[in-house]
Amino acid sequence: MVAQNGDCFPVVKAVSNVLFHVPGLVRHGSKPSREIAKRPELGDQLAARLRSYDQAVSYPPHQVYIGNLRPEALWNIPRPWQGHALEGLDRRGRFGEIMPEEEFVGLLKAFDEFDLVVLDGGFAADSKARLREHPLVESADIERIGAGASSADLDRILREPGGLALRLRDGGVAGAVRRGHEEDPNLTAELLLENLSVKATAAMALRQVFAQPGACAAADVEYLLGCGEEASGDRYQRGGGSLAKAAGAQAGCTGATGGDLKAYCCAPVHAMAVGGAMVRSGLFQNVVVVGGGSMAKLGMKFQGHLRSGIPVMEDVLAATAIVLGPDDGVNPVLRLDLAGRHPAGASSAPHIMAQHMVQIPLERAGLRISDVDKYALELHDPEVTETAGSGNVPHNNYRILGSLAVVKGEIGREDLSEFERTHGMPGFSPTQGHIAASVPFLGHAREMMLAGEIERAMFVAKGSLFLGQMTQLSDGMSILLERNPRSRD
Amino acid sequence: MDLDGQERIQRVVDQNGGEDLVVVVGPPDAETSAMYAETVTRGDPTYAGPLAGVSLGLPVFHMLEEAIKEAIPEDVWAAEIGAMEFALDAEAIRASMQAVRDGGWEYTGRGSAGA
Amino acid sequence: MDLTGKRVIAIGERDGIPAPAIAACMRSAGAEVVLMETECFV
């Protein structure tokens, strides 16, 4: 599509959405680790209520995330979704897969270049046997996993200061993570595990996206743009970053450099805008946005889930990769002329933010709020949040956006409750921070546009900057995806 | 309510005394609103934070309650609150806040224990 | 309710009324804001 100044808008060529079921690692989430330190008996309570891999695979919102079901399908599945395991669907989805912990923990070793991870010999053998069957795992990965350590050696390592044990759902010890430095608070075993998990999940999301038809070749990628919320560095550069490049290097991106864009949960939309602008300007042809999973957010609401009598639901790491390229006349275009942003001088009240992110850019194109077929807002699975007393985040956000349409006279007040059905969707994303912020719908939107089902989808994300205690501000950014006009010919 | 937030509230009360202090809250739903209100009146109902068992007894209101709305100039209300008034379930929120003030609200065990 | 001279603790929420919006309202009503907290649970 040709922009006003004559150059072309970029397109979204491929999207991957991947889940990693890690029940044994939930205890390392920020909330669980702090609470268990205060009350060790919580560790046993949590361990007794972890989902099995089959439960995670058959959980409907997970199947939506990996692309086997459209989000709207959830309207017709009665709540609690937890009690409606889907039959006949497996770990593989159109956008990726749901990987079990026996494979993921082995891969942590495959992506470890500093001998931080030590695996139990028996576990390593089992993990390698499984991973040899995985179409995206290479012999180099298997080699790096190696033979693992004997029980005696592993015991010794576990008794070293600063190490932590890597456990599986059944409590068994699969291995250990060492600290990276005696004194450096940024190279503790906990932080290294967190960052290695980002690297591993991001690298697998990249491998998944390159395996999709229409994506570019991994070796042709010139720039990788990370959009996660982790901080990777050491004592002198705590947030040095570039974890996207680290992940890409082990996903075949031999021609790419990269950096990490830090913008809290809003980062994926920032990254799509910046990555898209890189392509549009001619700076690079092949740019990939990538976000790894958040270990810190595992089990955040575990106490609410235990109190509600349900399993701990925040037991998956989620990752995504988005391939951007020049207009090919087929794929949906990113309308960089209609990006919305929340300016620092504006109020952070949600309706004012929605005006800046939605109303103002649409008005530039003479469009109404109701001219966008689908809005992807914060898409957190309500079953995870409601059962812990945090409400239904997408529902609240659709009501705020819908209320703008009411104020503008586009819809009546009596139609406000329907807005989330007509222009929105039920939440389905794991509560993995930046991952849940609008982009879980991107793969679905692309497919729906290629099939001619929808014309326009707007991706609207917010960031809670105030959490870092540096500002009281919030942030927001939006971008419009449109069916490629040339694809109609 | 966030545990550090509870601590900061306790500190403000200690430093300023309770006189003339009012708490005004803005959660989007009735349950969370009631939890915040309970926390600053009778104490943290989840017993997780520094205000567990601490009865600050502070007057507390939700932004969408009439008593607050009538005190705010119309243009400021329109700019800062505006459409949020009907985007949120104002009726349920008001009822919940009143229930806490009347002493008739009970923690059902599912509230946010804070981050 | 007369808020003039009152000292306000504003506890907002990201998807509800955030603290800065509460604070702006309170100041316009003649109150002083002594604490601002905005919660985010996701």
Would you call the peptide bond into A80 cis, given omega within 30 degrees of 0 as the criterion? yes
Domain membership of residue B91 (yes or no) is yes
User: What's the pLDDT score for residue A3?
Assistant: 59
**Residues of A whose CB is below 8 A from B28:** 391, 396
Which one, of A173, A66, A54, lies nearest residue A122 by Cα? A173
For residue C1, the distance in angstroms to the closest alpha carbon of chain A comes to 23
What is the extent of the structural domain holding B80?
Answer: 3-100
Domain membership of residue A232 (yes or no) is no
For residue A382, the distance in angstroms to the closest alpha carbon of chain B comes to 14
Percent of chain C exceeding pLDDT 90 equals 76
Domain membership of residue A27 (yes or no) is no
Asked whether the beta carbons of residue C11 and residue B23 sit closer than 8 angstroms, the reply is: yes
- Helices A189-210 and A101-110: angle between axes, nearest 10 degrees: 100
CATH number at residue A453: 3.40.47
Asked whether the beta carbons of residue C7 and residue B25 sit closer than 8 angstroms, the reply is: no
Asked whether the beta carbons of residue B115 and residue C39 sit closer than 8 angstroms, the reply is: yes
CA distance A333 to A485: 9
Interface probe, candidates A38, A397, A403, A467, chain B, greatest B C-beta count within 10 A: A403
Q: What share of chain C is helix, strand, coil (3-state, %, to 5)?
A: 25, 35, 40
Determine contact, residues B31/B23, Cβ cutoff 8 Å: no
CA distance B110 to B107: 8
**Residues of B whose CB is below 8 A from A420:** none
Which chain C residue shows the shortest CA-CA distance from A473?
A: C20
Interface residue C1 vs chain B (CB under 8 A) = yes
Residue A477 in this model has a pLDDT that exceeds 70? yes
**Residues of A whose CB is below 8 A from C10:** none
Interface probe, candidates B80, B84, B94, B97, chain C, greatest C C-beta count within 10 A: B80
Domain membership of residue A464 (yes or no) is yes
Of A388, A404, A406, the CB nearest to B112: A388
Of C13, C28, C37, the CB nearest to B8: C37
Span A179-203, mean pLDDT?
A: 97
Q: pLDDT of A282-318, one tens digit each?
A: 999 999 999 999 999 999 999 889 988 899 999 999 9
| Measured CA distances, B36 to A9, A223, A384, B21, B54 (Å) | 47, 46, 21, 15, 13
What is the extent of the structural domain holding A368?
Answer: 333-488
CA distance A88 to A454: 28
Which pair of tokens denotes residue C12?
A: 């907002």
Span B21-39, mean pLDDT?
A: 92
CB pairs under 8 A between A and B: 65
**Chain centre distance of CA B6:** 12
Domain membership of residue B112 (yes or no) is no
Asked whether the beta carbons of residue B83 and residue A399 sit closer than 8 angstroms, the reply is: no
Which one, of A67, A125, A50, lies nearest residue A302 by Cα? A50
Domain membership of residue A150 (yes or no) is no
Q: pLDDT of A214-266, one tens digit each?
A: 999 999 999 999 999 999 999 999 999 999 999 999 999 999 999 999 999 99
Interface probe, candidates B9, B22, B85, chain C, greatest C C-beta count within 10 A: B22
Domain membership of residue A452 (yes or no) is yes
User: Which one-letter DSSP state was computed for residue A355?
Assistant: I
Based on the structure, what is the number of domains in chain A? 1
Based on the structure, what is the number of domains in chain B? 1
Interface residue B35 vs chain C (CB under 8 A) = no
Q: Which secondary-structure segment (H or E) carries A255?
A: none
- Tell whether ipTM is more than 0.90: yes
pLDDT band at B113 (very low <50, low <70, confident <90, very high): very low
Which chain B residue shows the shortest CA-CA distance from C14?
A: B27
Span A470-489, mean pLDDT?
A: 91
Domain membership of residue B16 (yes or no) is yes
Residues of A with CB under 8 A from a CB of B: 31, 300-301, 303-304, 307-308, 347, 349-352, 387-391, 396, 399-400, 402-404, 406-407, 413, 416
Q: pLDDT of B62-89, one tens digit each?
A: 999 999 999 999 999 999 999 999 999 9
**Residues of A whose CB is below 8 A from B86:** 403, 406, 413, 416
Domain membership of residue A450 (yes or no) is yes
